[in-house]
Structure 1
Amino acid sequence: MADDGRKALAGRVAIVGAGPAGIAAAHRLLEVASGRVGITLIERSGESEYLPGTVPVVLGEDTSGSFRQPVEIPGVEVLAAEASRVTGSGVVVDGSFVEADYVIAAPGLETEDLSGPPGVHAFWSPSGAEAAAGVVRGAADTIAVVISSLPYRCPPAPYSLAMQLSSLLREAGGRGRVVLTTPEDEPLSALGGGVPEFLRESCERAGVDLHTGFSPDPAALGEGALRSRAGEELAAEVMLVVPPHRRPAALSGLAGEGPLVEVSPHFESSEEGLFVVGDAAAAPFPRAAGPAEAAGKTAADAVLARLGLGEAHRHTPAPECYVGHGGGVFSRISLSYPEGLPPEGTSRVSIEGPSPELARGPEATLERFRQLRSP
């Protein structure tokens, strides 16, 4: 952009990451201040990946390419490059510095490498799931879905994967069985609202052997064994491991415990002018698309308010997750906040299904993913 073009702008905003939070922030900036704010979106490959596609890919129902979309948003400069560091005044990209008045960082959480012997497949994205897709249908004994630690993205997805795997094995006439392990004492206990009981009962009906309070020993996984830190050992021919999630290096040095970054109610980090949204933000919401989108809009409004182009307010998320039970039957878990956002208000949980009619839900969310990232 020419120098005179830069002077006409109220400010420049850099967004890191093309997941739900980053894309929502970009669209909100365009909606409120199109033409008055320069927007640069930085994404490593220039493409966005639809993370819920992980389950259909590992089930062999589709390939990872179906869940990647080039990011092309009119009015947004898309930079396909690696962001190695973010600050409140810009982003270090491939050794250069992209200046900005404010930065909205939505890089998500990275996963640790748990490379192990054959039979151990650690992944939590569609691209990572392809290597495991060829082995699950041929499993003759036990497939284990292993949640290695908390937090992780898409909390209900491992339960959905385990139940659909169990159904797949039954349909194929095999004798294989599915085991699901989680470090939690109850499935998704933080959600409450009957969700733990619902998931436990659903796993039982689907023939999934659920083991709660099971924290796997990483050293044992590296040797091809499924053993908890407490010494409990389970037999498994194939292990599909949700690996530990960690904070991206670009967010190192910011306040917060473990992989999560401490943020204000408007998602500003300990560094002024730097907002962190999405899975890496320490917010009291599930790590799912709905809360990420609301966080992106909230951060965008806070930036617009600083630039004198709007008012800052918190957007209320509408989290919903689809859980597959096998055979084309799905349930939907939804959260709402009728009494206000935490900490003042608490969430209200609703569970719909199981029903074959709800199978249209995942299709609709995938189509929305594609529409938001291209003209």
Structure 2
Amino acid sequence: MKRRILVIGAGPGGIAAARRLRERIGDRLEIVLIEREGTAEFLPGTIATVLGEAPAAHWRTPLRLRGIEVQQGEVQRATGRGVVLTDGRTLEAEAVIAAPGLHLNLTAVPARPNVFAFWSPTTAEAAREAVARLQRGRLVVVISGLPYRCPPAPYSLAMQLAAFYRHHRRDVQLTLTTPEEAPLASLGHGIPEFLLRSCAEAGVEVQLGRRPDWSAGTDRELVFTDGSRLAFDLALVVPPHGRAPMLATLPDEGVLVSVDARLETAEPGLFVVGDATRTSLPRAAGVATAQGRTAADAVLDRLGLARFEGPHLPEPECYIGHGDGRYSRITIHFPEGLPPTGRPEVRLEGPAPELAAGFARVFEEWRTLRTENGR
């Protein structure tokens, strides 16, 4: 009988894990990929959705993966021996690889006029009309707390919004607030200074060390935990991120889950990859992809089906929109291995209009990996 492996989530980590299992020893495995609606969503399409450049549906695609069974359902609890779905079904397995990402706590942000909490194309739809309608005043991009997925994206959102309003000759001031003392400080290599300088050149004011107090404030004023206040006409909020409920029983404190070098948790047979893991690596698709492949190899080794020869080295790249069709790109390599023994090499390119093609290429590659059409 084939041995069943469950993979949860169709993000870069989950897809990489499922494909790696199939690539190495698929004929001896039953690989089941569980995704809530049987579709995948391209999260970098969030900003284009808010700007009205493409609807949320443009960034979704049905999952069709050769040799991999796709099950629709929402996982309530994951263990090393299987999962329990919210509809009461139980799926057993030899091992589970979970790539749930971080959970968006949208309810933590009060439902107020002119305040929109989102961080995906689907959740961004509600803010699109308000962004298009704003004629003058102050728009605030609010980062609620740490950690959150895709750390450069709020800065990209603010700069592209500033360019949008300049293009339409509207008197809208852009402010971004963040709890960070410096953006992407862990990357170093001049990236924090580059982001702050780019925002200033785009006309975006950045307020550092500002954590919103959602129990206070009004429809037109933000209140921060340090007592400072900021009036606004429209607020776009990156909501607090929490641990995926399916991982709630793991013993770790806080949002992130502890894993070993093979991505296995304290629960034997349960592997977690991507943004949900406690790691010094950046929260980027390239990291999740490498972790998915590593976890797949570790599962095969654990089951005695193939040897584990060490972690896959990530090669993340991140595109930052500056507005007016210009993008920057951050790429990271680990030629000496992963931290703490290896030091990353960070390269920064742009901003330049030529890099817009790279962003489009990433989307096409993302879609191709999820729609194999049985080939």
What is the TM-score of this pair, normalised by structure 1?
0.96
Q: CA deviation at 1:339?
A: 2.1
Secondary structure of residue in 1 paired with 2:288: helix
Secondary structure of residue in 2 paired with 1:137: helix
Aligned to 2:307: 311
* Structure 1: distance between partners of 2:325 and 2:47: 13
Query: How many pairs were matched up?
Result: 367
Flag structure 2 segments of 5+ consecutive residues without an equivalent.
none
The correspondence for 2:92, drawn from 88, 96, 99, is 99
* Structure 1: distance between partners of 2:343 and 2:266: 26
Q: CA deviation at 1:222?
A: 6.5
Contact 1:120 1:221 in 2 (8 A): no
* Structure 1: distance between partners of 2:71 and 2:221: 42
Aligned to 1:242: 238
Aligned to 1:55: 47
Q: CA deviation at 1:361?
A: 1.2
**Structure 2 CA distance for partners of 1:221 and 1:317, relative to 1, 3 Å:** farther
Aligned to 2:349: 352
Contact 2:113 2:219 in 1 (8 A): no
Flag structure 1 segments of 5+ consecutive residues without an equivalent.
1-6
State the AA in 1 paired with 2:33. L
Aligned to 1:275: 271
Secondary structure of residue in 2 paired with 1:118: coil
Q: CA deviation at 1:255?
A: 2.8
Q: CA deviation at 1:306?
A: 1.7
The correspondence for 1:185, drawn from 161, 178, 181, is 181
State the AA in 2 paired with 1:131. A
The correspondence for 1:145, drawn from 141, 163, 167, is 141
Aligned to 1:3: none
Aligned to 2:123: 128
Secondary structure of residue in 2 paired with 1:295: helix
Secondary structure of residue in 1 paired with 2:286: helix
Q: Deviations over 1:274-324 (max 9, x none)?
A: 001111111221111110111100000001112222222201111111001
The correspondence for 2:34, drawn from 34, 38, 42, is 42
Secondary structure of residue in 1 paired with 2:48: helix
Q: Which moved more, 1:339-348 or 1:233-242?
A: 339-348
Contact 1:183 1:214 in 2 (8 A): yes
Q: Which moved more, 1:249-258 or 1:150-159?
A: 249-258
* 2:58 pairs with 1:66: yes
Aligned to 1:285: 281
Secondary structure of residue in 2 paired with 1:176: strand
* Structure 1: distance between partners of 2:98 and 2:218: 33
What is the TM-score of this pair, normalised by structure 2?
0.96
Contact 1:329 1:354 in 2 (8 A): yes
**Structure 2 CA distance for partners of 1:135 and 1:14, relative to 1, 3 Å:** same
Q: Which moved more, 1:347-356 or 1:223-232?
A: 223-232
The correspondence for 1:338, drawn from 327, 331, 335, is 335
Taking only aligned residues, the RMSD between alpha carbons, in angstroms, comes to 1.1
Q: Deviations over 1:300-356 (max 9, x none)?
A: 000111222222220111111100111000000111112210121122211000100
Q: CA deviation at 1:368?
A: 0.8
Secondary structure of residue in 1 paired with 2:346: strand
Contact 1:49 1:67 in 2 (8 A): yes
Moved over 6 A (4+): none
Contact 1:14 1:102 in 2 (8 A): yes
State the AA in 2 paired with 1:116. A
**Structure 2 CA distance for partners of 1:248 and 1:221, relative to 1, 3 Å:** farther
* 2:13 pairs with 1:18: no
Percent of aligned positions that are identical: 51
Q: CA deviation at 1:223?
A: 5.0
Aligned to 1:265: 261
